[in-house]
Amino acid sequence: MFHVMNNKNLTLLILLLCYFFSAFAQEDNFKRVAEEEEVGSILNQKAKKIQTITSDFIQKKHMDYLTVTIKSKGSFWFKKENYLRWEYKEPFLYKIVIKNGKIFIANEENNSEFNIKGNKIFREVNNIIVSAVKGEILTNEKYKTSVLENTEYYLIKLIPKEMDGDNIIKEMHMFFNKDNMQISKIKMVETSDNYTIITFINRKINAPIPDTIFNINQ
């Protein structure tokens, strides 16, 4: 097709394609926030009032180069200081509980237990989630952060300062709803540009959560 085009048309086509892709890269017209510290301070203030979070989530794993999206659903519980339960219910069963410096995992077949210090991936995931819930995400020393906004969300982009062979996640995007400054969705971009979007729904703040929820066998 290209060999029949003259140079002028080809340049125009390339410019149009560049515009098209750069528009997508902007993630729905997000613009850089001038006063990032102010956003950090609001997040911190809001987070101080949070004792517990209960929420459902929908996860979509996008592999655009394969035209494949994998959907899963589950629930999430957080209790201050560091109690976390992340549970997939459909289409598979998979539970992760993080408490007292340990990670407990259960699936349809068996249970396992790890020390959080010995597992880099879980240590990082726990670090990010706990920082986000505590409103300390912008002061996390392990990531370069930038704050963007559109009419609906503040978008905090996290890029690891040190990338080594074990780094699977290239960027983490956290979308905070401007109305209540609560996290609405998380986008994890992999080094291959595959990405996963986790959207939180049916969220309850400071509803009582019994400690038994953080028992993996529950």
Partner 1 sequence: MRRYLILFLISINSVVFFHYCAVPCRYNKIKATAFVTDSLQASPVEIDTTGKLLYRSFIYTPKKSFSGLFLFKKMAGKKTRIILLSEVGLRFMEFEYSDKEIELLYCVDFLNKNNIIKTFKKNILILLSDIHMVEKKRIFSDPGSSHHIFKTKLDEVGKCYYHFTNKQMTRTIYGSLFNKTYMEYSDYNKNNIPRKIEISYTLIDLGFSLKLIDNKNVVE
Spatial neighbors of 216 by CB under 8 A, at least 6 apart, are 95, 97, 104, 105, 106, 111
Selection from 82, 81, 112 nearest residue 94 by Cα: 112
* Per CB under 8 A, 56 contacts partner 1: no
Binding residues among 18-47 for partner 1 as defined by CB under 8 A? none
What is the C-alpha separation between 155 and 43, in angstroms, rounded?
12
Cα separation values, 9 from 5, 6, 16, Å: 6, 6, 10
- Binder of partner 1 out of 35, 141, 166, 179 (CB under 8 A): 166
- Binder of partner 1 out of 29, 192, 206, 218 (CB under 8 A): 192
- Binder of partner 1 out of 36, 46, 76, 88 (CB under 8 A): 88
Chain CA centroid to CA 153, Å: 14
* Per CB under 8 A, 168 contacts partner 1: yes
Q: How far is the CB of 202 from partner 1 (least distance, A)?
A: 20
Nearer to partner 1, 76 or 205 (CB): 76
Nearer to partner 1, 92 or 211 (CB): 92
Selection from 214, 194, 178 nearest residue 66 by Cα: 194
One symbol per residue from 66 to 85: x for binding partner 1 (CB under 8 A), - otherwise; what is it?
x-xxxxx-------------
Coil, strand or helix at 183: strand
Chain CA centroid to CA 21, Å: 23
* Per CB under 8 A, 188 contacts partner 1: yes
Selection from 188, 179, 174 nearest residue 151 by Cα: 179
* Per CB under 8 A, 196 contacts partner 1: yes
Would you tell me which residues interact with partner 1 (CB under 8 A)? 59, 61, 63, 66, 68-72, 88, 90-92, 94, 107-110, 112, 121, 125, 165-166, 168-169, 188, 190, 192, 194, 196
